[in-house]
């Protein structure tokens, strides 16, 4: 399944701005003050990096579909 959407879900927790997602996949994630998703990125080209970012997120706030 190709990833078509990535977002920050702070329903249960907040982004702690640790920068792990940006270190893993800077073409999709940036962390100026809080994680921001680069909506123009081709998510399907970075599926393994997005999954690694999700798995590495200490707050568990990165979601994708």
Mean pLDDT of 3-18: 95
Query: Domain total for the chain?
Result: 1
**Quick count: other Cβ atoms within 10 Å of Cβ 6?**
22
H helices of the chain, where? Answer: 20-24, 47-56
Q: Does residue 36 surpass a pLDDT of 90?
A: yes
Mean pLDDT of 6-13: 94
Band of the pLDDT at 33, cuts 50, 70, 90? confident
- Structural domain contains residue 55: yes
Q: Does residue 34 surpass a pLDDT of 90?
A: no
For residue 29, what are the β-bridge partners?
37
Domain range for 33? 6-64
- Structural domain contains residue 22: yes
Q: Does residue 55 surpass a pLDDT of 90?
A: yes
- Structural domain contains residue 11: yes
Whole-number average pLDDT of the chain: 95
SS3 category, 30? strand
C-alpha torsion angle, residues 13, 4, 46, 44 (rounded to 10): 160
- Structural domain contains residue 31: yes
- Structural domain contains residue 1: no
């Amino acid at each position: 399944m190709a990833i078509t959407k990535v977002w920050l879900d702070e329903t249960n927790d907040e982004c702690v701005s640790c920068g792990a997602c940006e270190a893993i996949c800077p073409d999709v994630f940036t962390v100026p003050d809080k994680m921001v998703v680069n909506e123009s990125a081709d998510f399907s080209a970075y599926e393994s990096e997005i999954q690694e970012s999700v798995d590495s997120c200490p707050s568990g706030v990165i979601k994708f579909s």
